[in-house]
Amino acid sequence: MNNPNGRALQLVVLSGKGGTGKTSLTAAFAHLSSLSDPSAIPVFVDADVDAANLSLVLQPIPMTTNEFWGGWLAARQSVGTMPCCQPQKA
């Protein structure tokens, strides 16, 4: 999707709380962007590490699949008041 100046637009939908409609809103933007410019190839990314489900709503046809490794793994701590995620080397 481009603005009138020809630059790519970026829209981030986020919330720290689940069930706020982030996926539904993003799916609606995907639909609207396909109607506004059918020749454009928009990229929508669901970066939810616990429950990524945008692909369930949109049911896209993958063009390519790439494996990604960021180099760090999250370690979850289930007790106490310590932070839940501490970076650890992979």
- 87 bridge partner residues: 74
- Asked whether residue 38 is domain-assigned, the answer is yes
Specify the pLDDT at position 80.
60
Are 1 and 31 a contacting pair, CB within 8 Å?
no
How sure is the predictor about 85, in pLDDT bands with cuts at 50, 70 and 90? low
Number of domains, the chain: 1
- Asked whether residue 70 is domain-assigned, the answer is no
Specify the pLDDT at position 6.
64
- Over residues 6-61, the pLDDT tens digits come to 666 788 888 878 888 888 888 888 888 888 777 877 788 887 777 788 888 888 88
Tally of residues, the chain:
90
- Enclosing domain of residue 56: 1-63
| CA 9 – CA 13 distance, rounded (Å) | 13
- Over residues 63-75, the pLDDT tens digits come to 787 787 777 776 7
- Asked whether residue 75 is domain-assigned, the answer is no
- 86 bridge partner residues: 75
- Asked whether residue 10 is domain-assigned, the answer is yes
| CA 31 – CA 20 distance, rounded (Å) | 19
- Asked whether residue 81 is domain-assigned, the answer is no
Q: What is the mean pLDDT of residues 79-83?
A: 58
